[in-house]
């Protein structure tokens, strides 16, 4: 019998052969339940992060002193008013004692209106009052016409006496209060920013890797991956959340629109079984270090002195400057060619504690293109949610 | 139900790569992968063929983890054994017995033989999967065939 004939007979005999399998369903159902729990936990974690982010934004909005609304008329601080009104012409301005002013600042979260109460010579739009209030005011006026006792008059004089000593100056303001100059800075939309950022990217799914036998085998492991002497070999790779740090400069282009660029560093760690020169190592680590240049356009659709909301979109090019495999007690370095390109879009919020210094939160979706980069969360899960937070300085 | 429909078909696939003891574990792992990846089946080819690939991969992975394939490429010579198989011998051997005889081959030879002869991969593809040369795959397939024929003849002679 020829070999070919033997092979054919063997193939025909074993083709589609069936045999009662041992009952492993219980193990399968337990395994499925474990995987389901893992997926649920991961989704729950992502939802929790999103909720926390939303809560943080909401808290920032609530804490905004102006509640996001700017007064129609220019804000006047005590300092500004002092400069506007010559001392000789200073009318009888009702000024609260300094302690009351500070208390008012604290209680009302400081607006200029709380500092100086209606100077007499200022054209003030009369507030709308009800009929009852009008009657009450008339009664008060009548009462005011009655003679006062000397003691009461003295007290009243002390309280209403206009005095430069009692006017609130910038020096009197507690630390962190905004001055007229601060207000001017905060209103400047054409201001460049420097940001120090850090971000965390979520790992959204299991992304189990199946070892693919030919013809699927190595079909997608091209480029740097093909030239590597290391091959991923695992049905359950573990990816740690990538971490990035960076420094960016934001430059205004036109009103509300700005462009930012800078330098970022990203660190990616994966753990999986790998074949190193055809030898299997279980639970080995791969560490990737990327340095990148992002370019982002931002449009601020809400902009107040303390607060800003914006949408942003952009792209980034990143170069892997170091790749390291750690298996057993061995360490292997491999060079990585090419660039990792990515595109992102997101929403952002910024909060200025003081005119030149603020905090921002920038959740976004990032898509990593297939540029034959080493096996990592970016190749297995190209679309990722990123949560970036940072400090921002106006220059 | 998927498990009930296909477990009896996929179990023999695992047995001829691993033997009965280890086939049980891989059958479980294979079905977990099937349930996990079932959404990726695009309808190209038969569903059974897609599943078979998953179980073949799972079996090979199991062998790799046990380091059973590490020395596969060391064997490049293929001394002929057993001589020529006579016609009519195969008809006297049961399918279950053939399955067990295949499972008794050394793991490296068994993998090459299964992939090339029974699962229809080319020697180039077998080489790529197992990390050996095409020539080595040819030699090992030939050696595995000779060993198997020898075992079949022994079984046949024992019966008659």
Question: What is the tens place of the pLDDT at every residue in B58-80?
Answer: 999 888 887 666 555 545 455 55
Whole-number Å distance between alpha carbons of A327 and A207:
22
Chain B residue with minimal CA distance to A29? B32
Contact B15 A208 (CB under 8 A): no
**Average pLDDT across chain A, whole number:** 70
pLDDT above 60: residue A372: yes
Cβ atoms of residues A242 and A268 within 8 Å: yes
pLDDT at position A69, please?
A: 44
| From B54, B86, B99, residue closest to A17, measured CB to CB | B99
Q: Read off the pLDDT of each residue in B103-120 and give the average, rounded to a whole number.
A: 92
| From B9, B126, B131, residue closest to A278, measured CB to CB | B131
| From A11, A208, A233, residue closest to B64, measured CB to CB | A233
The model's confidence at residue A389, banded by pLDDT at 50, 70 and 90, is confident
Whole-number Å distance between alpha carbons of A28 and B25:
10
Distance from CA of A21 to the nearest CA of B (A): 5
Cβ atoms of residues B2 and B27 within 8 Å: no
Q: Is A235 on the interface with B (CB under 8 A)?
A: yes
pLDDT at position A173, please?
A: 52
- Between these two residues, A245 and A165, which has the higher pLDDT value? A245
Q: Read off the pLDDT of each residue in A109-121 and give the average, rounded to a whole number.
A: 35
Whole-number Å distance between alpha carbons of A194 and A222:
39
Whole-number Å distance between alpha carbons of B33 and A201:
26
pLDDT at position B89, please?
A: 83
Whole-number Å distance between alpha carbons of B59 and B55:
6
Best mean pLDDT range from A3-7, A135-139, A239-243, B11-15:
B11-15
Residue ranges per structural domain of chain B: 2-65, 77-159
pLDDT at position B130, please?
A: 86
Q: Read off the pLDDT of each residue in A249-259 and give the average, rounded to a whole number.
A: 89
The model's confidence at residue A311, banded by pLDDT at 50, 70 and 90, is very high
Distance from CA of B12 to the nearest CA of A (A): 6
Q: Is A51 on the interface with B (CB under 8 A)?
A: no
pLDDT above 70: residue A218: no
Helix axes A3-14, B95-103, angle to 10 degrees: 110
Contact B85 A11 (CB under 8 A): no
Kindly state the tokens that stand for A165.
């000593």
The SS3 call for residue A199 is strand
Task: Tell me which H or E stretch contains B51.
Answer: helix B47-65
pLDDT above 80: residue A33: yes
Residues of chain B found within 8 Å of residue A215, distances taken between Cβ atoms: 125
Question: Which residues 32-51 of chain B have a CB within 8 Å of chain A?
Answer: 32-33, 35-37
Q: Read off the pLDDT of each residue in B24-53 and give the average, rounded to a whole number.
A: 88
Phi, psi of A291 (to 5 degrees): -120, 130
Chain A residue with minimal CA distance to B25? A24
pLDDT at position A203, please?
A: 57
- Between these two residues, A144 and A50, which has the higher pLDDT value? A50
pLDDT at position A223, please?
A: 35
Cβ atoms of residues A318 and A345 within 8 Å: no
Q: Whose structure tokens read 């990148």?
A: A292
Whole-number Å distance between alpha carbons of A138 and A143:
9
Domains of chain A (ranges; CATH) run 78-123+130-178 (no CATH), 184-394 (2.40.160.20)
Residues of chain B found within 8 Å of residue A22, distances taken between Cβ atoms: 11, 24, 27
Question: Which residues 128-157 of chain B have a CB within 8 Å of chain A?
Answer: 128-129, 131, 142, 145, 148-149
Residues of chain A found within 8 Å of residue B37, distances taken between Cβ atoms: 208, 210
pLDDT above 80: residue A51: no
DSSP string, A7-69: HHHHHHHHTT---PPP--HHHHHHHHHHHHHHHHHHHHHHHHHHHHHHHHHHHHHHH-TTTT-
Three-state SS letters, A305-374: CCEEEEEEEEEEEEEEEEEEEEECCEEEECCCCCCEEEEEEEEEEEEEEECCEEEEEEEEEEEECCCCCC
Architecture of the domain defined by B2-65: Orthogonal Bundle (1.10)
Contact A24 B24 (CB under 8 A): yes
Contact B32 A31 (CB under 8 A): yes
Cβ atoms of residues A387 and A363 within 8 Å: yes
- Between these two residues, B70 and A107, which has the higher pLDDT value? B70
| From B9, B90, B121, residue closest to A214, measured CB to CB | B121
The model's confidence at residue A263, banded by pLDDT at 50, 70 and 90, is very high
- Between these two residues, A296 and A216, which has the higher pLDDT value? A296
DSSP state of A223: T
Q: Read off the pLDDT of each residue in A227-240 and give the average, rounded to a whole number.
A: 76
Burial class (CB in 10 A: 0-12, 13-18, 19+), A74: exposed
Best mean pLDDT range from A5-19, A102-116, B77-91:
A5-19
What is the interface pTM, i.e. ipTM, of the complex? 0.85
| From B57, B70, B86, residue closest to A213, measured CB to CB | B57
Contact A211 B57 (CB under 8 A): yes
Q: How far lies B72's CA from each of A180, A210, A230, A250, B57, in Å?
A: 81, 22, 19, 59, 17
pLDDT above 50: residue A146: no
Q: Read off the pLDDT of each residue in B45-67 and give the average, rounded to a whole number.
A: 88
pLDDT above 80: residue B152: yes
Helices vs strands, H then E, count in chain B: 7, 0
The SS3 call for residue B20 is helix
Whole-number Å distance between alpha carbons of A160 and A96:
8
Q: Is A4 on the interface with B (CB under 8 A)?
A: no
pLDDT above 90: residue B55: yes
Q: Read off the pLDDT of each residue in A134-153 and give the average, rounded to a whole number.
A: 48
pLDDT at position A129, please?
A: 42
Q: Is A32 on the interface with B (CB under 8 A)?
A: yes
pLDDT above 70: residue A55: no
**pLDDT tens, B22-37?**
899 899 989 998 988 8
pLDDT above 70: residue A61: no
Distance from CA of B25 to the nearest CA of A (A): 8
Calculate Rg over the CA atoms of chain A. Answer: 34
Q: Read off the pLDDT of each residue in A54-61 and give the average, rounded to a whole number.
A: 64
pLDDT at position A183, please?
A: 57
Mean pLDDT lowest for which of A55-69, A84-98, A267-281, B122-136? A84-98
Question: Which residues 63-102 of chain B have a CB within 8 Å of chain A?
Answer: 64-65, 67, 70, 84-87, 89-90, 95-96, 98-99, 102
Would you tell me how many other CB atoms lie within 10 Å of the CB of residue B149? 23
Q: Does the pTM exceed 0.90?
A: no
pLDDT above 50: residue A117: no
Architecture of the domain defined by B77-159: Orthogonal Bundle (1.10)
Contact A18 B12 (CB under 8 A): yes
- Between these two residues, A23 and A155, which has the higher pLDDT value? A23
| From A6, A16, A32, residue closest to B32, measured CB to CB | A32
**pLDDT tens, A318-364?**
999 999 999 877 888 989 999 999 999 999 999 988 888 889 998 89
Q: Whose structure tokens read 């030239």?
A: A227
pLDDT above 90: residue A282: no
Residues of chain A found within 8 Å of residue B78, distances taken between Cβ atoms: none
Contact A10 B118 (CB under 8 A): yes
On the CB side of B136, CA atoms within 13 Å amount to: 18
Kindly state the tokens that stand for B76.
């490049």
Cβ atoms of residues A341 and A355 within 8 Å: no
Q: How far lies B16's CA from each of A200, A213, B98, B120, in Å?
A: 47, 17, 9, 14
Q: Whose structure tokens read 């047995």?
A: B15
Residue of B134, B100, B95, B129 lying closest to B115 (CA atoms): B129
Whole-number Å distance between alpha carbons of A185 and A201:
34
Would you tell me how many other CB atoms lie within 10 Å of the CB of residue B95? 13
pLDDT above 50: residue A371: yes
Q: Is B112 on the interface with A (CB under 8 A)?
A: no
Distance from CA of A3 to the nearest CA of B (A): 8
């Amino acid at each position: 019998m020829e070999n070919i004939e033997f092979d054919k007979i063997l193939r025909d005999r074993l083709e589609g052969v069936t045999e009662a399998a041992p009952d492993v369903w219980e193990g399968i159902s337990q395994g499925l339940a474990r995987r389901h729990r893992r997926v649920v936990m991961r989704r729950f974690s992502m939802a929790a992060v999103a909720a926390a982010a939303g809560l943080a934004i909401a808290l920032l909005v609530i804490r905004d002193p102006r509640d996001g609304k700017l007064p129609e008329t220019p804000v006047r601080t005590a300092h500004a008013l002092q400069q506007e009104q010559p001392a000789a012409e200073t009318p009888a301005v009702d000024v609260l004692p300094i302690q009351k002013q500070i208390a008012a600042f604290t209680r009302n979260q400081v607006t200029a209106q709380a500092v100086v109460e209606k100077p007499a010579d200022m054209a003030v739009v009369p507030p709308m009052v009800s009929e009852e209030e009008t009657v009450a005011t008339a009664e008060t006026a009548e009462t005011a016409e009655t003679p006062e006792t000397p003691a009461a008059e003295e007290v009243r004089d002390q309280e209403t006496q206009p005095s430069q000593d009692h006017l609130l100056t910038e020096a009197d303001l507690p630390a962190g209060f905004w001055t007229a100059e601060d207000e001017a800075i905060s209103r400047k939309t054409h201001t460049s920013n420097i940001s120090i950022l850090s971000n965390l990217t979520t790992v959204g799914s299991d992304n189990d890797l199946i070892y693919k036998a030919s013809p699927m085998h190595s079909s997608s492991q091209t480029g740097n991956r093909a030239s590597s002497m290391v091959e991923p070999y695992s049905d359950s790779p573990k990816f740690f959340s990538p971490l990035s740090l960076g420094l960016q400069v934001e430059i205004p282009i036109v009103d509300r629109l700005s462009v930012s660029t800078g330098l970022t560093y990203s660190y990616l760690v994966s753990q999986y079984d790998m074949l190193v020169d055809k030898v299997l190592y279980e639970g080995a680590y791969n560490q990737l270090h990327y340095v990148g240049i992002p370019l982002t356009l931002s449009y601020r659709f809400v902009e107040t002195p303390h607060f800003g909301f914006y949408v942003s979109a952009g792209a980034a090019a990143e170069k892997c400057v170091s790749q390291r495999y750690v298996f057993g007690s061995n360490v292997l370095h491999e060079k990585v060619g090419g660039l990792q390109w990515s595109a992102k879009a997101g929403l952002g919020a910024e909060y200025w504690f003081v005119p030149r210094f603020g905090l921002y939160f920038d959740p976004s979706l990032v898509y990593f293109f297939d540029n034959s980069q080493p096996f990592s969360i970016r190749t297995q899960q190209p679309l990722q949610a990123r949560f970036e937070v940072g400090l921002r300085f106006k220059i | 139900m998927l498990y009930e429909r296909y477990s009896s078909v996929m179990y023999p696939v695992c047995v001829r790569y691993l033997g009965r003891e280890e086939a049980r574990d891989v059958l479980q792992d294979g079905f977990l992968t099937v349930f996990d990846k079932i959404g990726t089946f695009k309808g190209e080819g038969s569903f059974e063929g897609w599943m078979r690939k998953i179980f073949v991969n799972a079996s090979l992975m199991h062998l790799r983890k046990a380091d059973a394939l590490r020395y596969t490429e060391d064997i490049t010579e293929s001394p002929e054994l057993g001589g020529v198989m006579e016609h009519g011998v195969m008809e006297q051997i049961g399918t279950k017995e053939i399955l067990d005889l295949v499972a008794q081959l050394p793991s490296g030879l068994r993998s090459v033989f299964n992939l090339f002869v029974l699962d229809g991969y080319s020697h180039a593809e077998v080489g790529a999967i197992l990390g050996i040369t095409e020539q080595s795959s040819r030699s090992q397939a030939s050696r595995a065939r000779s060993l198997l024929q020898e075992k079949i003849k022994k079984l046949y002679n024992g019966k008659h």
